[in-house]
Structure 1
Amino acid sequence: MTTASGRPGRLGSPGPLTRTERLDGLPFTRAHLRLLIGSGVGWALDAMDVGIMSFVLVAIGQQWALSTGERSLLGAIGFAGMAVGAALGGLLADRVGRRQVFALTLLVYGLATGASALAGGLAVLIVLRFVVGTGLGAELPVASTLVSEYAPTRIRGRVVVILESFWAVGWIAAAVVGLVLVPASDDGWRWAFAIGLVPAAYALYVRTRLPESVRFLEGRGRHAEAEAAVRTFEQSPPWRGAPPDAPPPPAAELPANGSEPEHGTSAAPQPEAEARAGVRALFSRGLRRRTVALWLTWFGVNFAYYGAFTWIPTLLVADGFSMVQSFGYTLVITVAQLPGYAVAAWLIEVWGRRAVLVSFLAGSAVAALGFGLAGSVPQILVAGIALSFFNLGAWGALYAVTPESYPTRVRATGAGSATAFGRIASILAPLVTLPLHDRIGTGGVFAVFAGAFLLAMVGASLLTELRGLRLEE
């Protein structure tokens, strides 16, 4: 049978499909592509801001004659803001909507980054970087949640990994800006920050053009808006270059009493009081293991990634390379992030989330050890390329599995809280990397990063495999 929208009803049942089932059964349409690119551009701008800082730190450290402690603080303060932003952003997104928070975060960190270009001293720049971090931290889990809730079930993981791949685009843009602008003059780092105003302008596009989550709208009783959003995607033609279909998900089982949800509602609508359960719900009986596993994984990945990539340009300069050489090598290493995402996007619907995470984290650990032991430029580049490939592929899988691990009522809260816990590690890593380097050298520092990847592997191995399951399942 078919529904009023022309879509088939639930097999073996007289009732029509719910809105979320209608979304889950769609092909990858042009509307999906617009959402993916619209969210991905915001993601890339986020990455560009974070990446630019790793190059600016080299220039400011020399120009302002900063001590090791001052450089460490400046490198870490943005991640402190990201921890706050990730926690608050997820909570807000479950209360006022994914799209609203997405646009607000772009505006906040775009304006603060532009203001950073005018900073005249360390204290002012530290305050501004904290504000920037707050906006950055809130954006990422919210964007991944929004895309995850619209992506068809059979390719949901692949679509979210593709979203995450925009991070590499942004980081590559940051490397180009760092290589071209930062060394060009004493004010090069200021011009690099000025480019960060772009996200503030992009916030208007997000606010007016991207859709709100159907699941969120239904949870707030805004059924007419939810229906309109679903119909927009149903009426959108399939995109010819759509990601290839993964094997179809298992058929959803009916409740034991054979009852059907009312037409136009989600399969498991949540009352308002339950929707406000907050962080405590993440440690309820059914979610506790997933939360612990995700937090361990996020902590390990954040520590290793931000400890390494925030300071690779600085460490290369400390090991005797010029600023231009350091920035050039970092650009080459960064380009390898794109194929890492591509391979992870393909494998995630073939191997599953957990297998991709564990294997890519293992590759990251080996690559980190290799980078620490590298004694020549070719060895540095090979190990660095491998580190980028495996580390960013793991990031893609992690962003795919995190929002889908939680029910709608706490999905953004769960993703935001996991991200926020990981940001604790991203605060610690920039603080301890330079002091550790002074004591144990590059080899010792990257051995520590390899240990962090192993910790993340432990967490990933505890995750529940969710490939092919609908979000309501």
Structure 2
Amino acid sequence: MATGTEAEGDRIAAASSRTAPREPLKGFHLRVTATTFGANFSDGYALGVIGAVLPALTTTMHLSGVWQGLLGASALIGLFFGSISLGRVADVIGRQKLYLYNFVLIGIASAAQFWANTPLILFMLRLVIGFGLGADYAVGPTLLSEFAPRRLRGVLLGSLTVLWTIGYVLANVLGTYVPMSGSAAHWLLASGALPALLVLLLRIGIPESPSWLATRGRAAEAAEIRRRYLGQYEATAEAAQISTAEQPPPARYRELFARGQAAKTWFGVIFYSAQVLPYFAIYTFMSQILGTMHISDANAQNLTLNLALLLGGVIGLWPVQRMGRRPFTIGTFAILTVCLAGMSVFNSASGWVLMIPFLIYTFVMAGASNITQVYPAELFPTSLRASGVGFLNGTSRIASAVGTFVLPVSLSLLGVGWSMGCMALVLLVGTLVSLAWAPETRDTLTAEDWHH
């Protein structure tokens, strides 16, 4: 429950954004979207490239199965710590500083991978990259959701996953078709510094979130940003007249689990984790999975699956925008569960038969992943949004890291059938939890309006 000062802060933020449903799409919206797009491209590239170079690194660095799993999960482990810790920081000090400086860290660590000549050094660098990306997982969608017009919020936030997929697919394609050696693998790893540098340059000058400023009692600053960057005058004038004599304190982290919010928080944790655990595990070790399916032209099938990822992500933007969040989430979970269950039950069939549910899974998963950038930002009020989004991203990355670490072991010991069956059970949990708890958030203006 909001305290008196917190409710006043939310009243200020709501007054500032009352005209948002009529707000046109402006060049500034596109700029914030583009810089957040670039971050998601960098993220997808950084996470995809490790799967692309692992076969070469296994040979040149003599990696054991444990080191393969650790390197595959390294950035995800960093993402957990970055999302959890820096999401909270963003709710206390604001979004803008982290939005800018996290890519300094990412760029430096990405370039340093070129000289990483031991598994331990590479592991540590990728932990740092993941830590910086974790901050952006919490801050990027949060800032974009607080600037975006409501009518376009779903498609703009959902598009972040499409750009993530493009970066991920590009890394996979390069890993497939670039002649891979130890030096080529290190060049690919270090190439992630280029998009990180571009994102850093484009983010210079992005202002603080006016919604966050308003909830901190800084209505005049929020009004100036809305006038200067968004062309809003009437609502900001009203907000500026609201007394800001008593500045509300930051919301406490434990309010994520308070009555009225806890169900949304735990739904977000389970829904997000159940979706990304199979995703990261399967696509990090896609070449190994294709190998167990005894497909003669694995490279061609790898390319086909990557194209399905891209196509599914783009087409999936339409239902994210048009459907409610709840039916979209439940429906996609159910389809994904059936696909992996089919691969498990018919695991002795030919590789070409198994490719049918695998392609459907890939296509639907790419579209379903769009919701992971939309739902979290809509589950929390402004004073808790970065903390909540960071918590969901962080906990989901624990699941991703576990899946990425366990899957290569499972494939070698149990085979593709049992491994896909376990992944189907994870998706089934996501389906059941979504049926029981998933709220509908599509028509919320901004989360602070829940108080009104």
Normalising by structure 1, report the TM-score. 0.84
Choose which of 435, 441, 444 in structure 2 pairs with 1:469: 444
Question: How far did residue 346 of structure 1 move?
Answer: 1.8
**Aligned equivalents of 1:331 and 1:171: distance in 2?**
12
Aligned length: 432
Q: Indicate conservation of the 8 Å contact 1:90/1:412, yes or no.
A: yes
Seen in structure 2, the aligned counterparts of structure 1 residues 434 and 267 have a Cα distance that, compared at 3 Å, is farther
2:119 equivalent in structure 1: 122
Matched, 1:204 2:200: yes
Alignment deviations for residues 317-370 of structure 1 (CA, whole Å, 9 cap, x no partner):
455568xx5454333212222332334322234320011111111222222234
3-state SS, counterpart of residue 322 of structure 2: coil
2:99 equivalent in structure 1: 102
3-state SS, counterpart of residue 65 of structure 1: coil
Alignment deviations for residues 234-264 of structure 1 (CA, whole Å, 9 cap, x no partner):
449xxxxxxxxxxxxxxxxxxxxxxx99812
1:250 equivalent in structure 2: none
Matched, 1:264 2:260: no
**Aligned equivalents of 1:44 and 1:176: distance in 2?**
14
Seen in structure 2, the aligned counterparts of structure 1 residues 112 and 129 have a Cα distance that, compared at 3 Å, is same
Matched, 1:367 2:320: no
1:28 equivalent in structure 2: 25
Choose which of 431, 438, 445 in structure 1 pairs with 2:405: 431
Q: Indicate conservation of the 8 Å contact 1:168/1:337, yes or no.
A: yes
Alignment deviations for residues 12-62 of structure 1 (CA, whole Å, 9 cap, x no partner):
xxxxx9322233430223322222122111111111110001111121113
Question: How far did residue 219 of structure 1 move?
Answer: 2.7
Question: How far did residue 221 of structure 1 move?
Answer: 3.9
Matched, 1:223 2:219: yes
Q: Indicate conservation of the 8 Å contact 1:103/1:206, yes or no.
A: no
**Aligned equivalents of 1:299 and 1:205: distance in 2?**
32
Q: Indicate conservation of the 8 Å contact 1:361/1:390, yes or no.
A: no
1:147 equivalent in structure 2: 144
3-state SS, counterpart of residue 238 of structure 2: coil
Choose which of 183, 191, 197 in structure 2 pairs with 1:195: 191
3-state SS, counterpart of residue 210 of structure 1: coil
Seen in structure 2, the aligned counterparts of structure 1 residues 270 and 60 have a Cα distance that, compared at 3 Å, is farther
Q: Indicate conservation of the 8 Å contact 2:20/2:445, yes or no.
A: no
1:246 equivalent in structure 2: none
1:281-320 pair list within 5 angstroms? 281-317=255-291
Output the amino acid matched with 2:336: S
65-74 or 19-28: bigger deviation: 19-28
2:5 equivalent in structure 1: none
3-state SS, counterpart of residue 17 of structure 2: helix
2:250 equivalent in structure 1: 275
Choose which of 360, 367, 375 in structure 2 pairs with 1:401: 375
Q: Indicate conservation of the 8 Å contact 2:292/2:415, yes or no.
A: no
**Aligned equivalents of 1:107 and 1:392: distance in 2?**
29
Unaligned runs of 5+ in 1: 1-16, 237-259
**Aligned equivalents of 1:283 and 1:305: distance in 2?**
27
Structure with higher helix content: 2
Output the amino acid matched with 2:439: T
Unaligned runs of 5+ in 2: 1-13
**Aligned equivalents of 2:50 and 2:242: distance in 1?**
44
Choose which of 274, 298, 307 in structure 2 pairs with 1:335: 307
Normalising by structure 2, report the TM-score. 0.87
Seen in structure 2, the aligned counterparts of structure 1 residues 361 and 271 have a Cα distance that, compared at 3 Å, is farther
Output the amino acid matched with 1:102: Y
Choose which of 371, 380, 388 in structure 2 pairs with 1:414: 388
1:157 equivalent in structure 2: 154
Seen in structure 2, the aligned counterparts of structure 1 residues 268 and 440 have a Cα distance that, compared at 3 Å, is farther
2:172 equivalent in structure 1: 175
3-state SS, counterpart of residue 83 of structure 2: helix
**Aligned equivalents of 2:240 and 2:300: distance in 1?**
53
Alignment deviations for residues 153-178 of structure 1 (CA, whole Å, 9 cap, x no partner):
23322221122221111112212321
Seen in structure 2, the aligned counterparts of structure 1 residues 163 and 75 have a Cα distance that, compared at 3 Å, is closer
Q: Indicate conservation of the 8 Å contact 1:219/1:270, yes or no.
A: no
Q: Indicate conservation of the 8 Å contact 2:82/2:133, yes or no.
A: yes
**Aligned equivalents of 1:277 and 1:174: distance in 2?**
40
Question: How far did residue 179 of structure 1 move?
Answer: 2.2
Seen in structure 2, the aligned counterparts of structure 1 residues 25 and 267 have a Cα distance that, compared at 3 Å, is farther
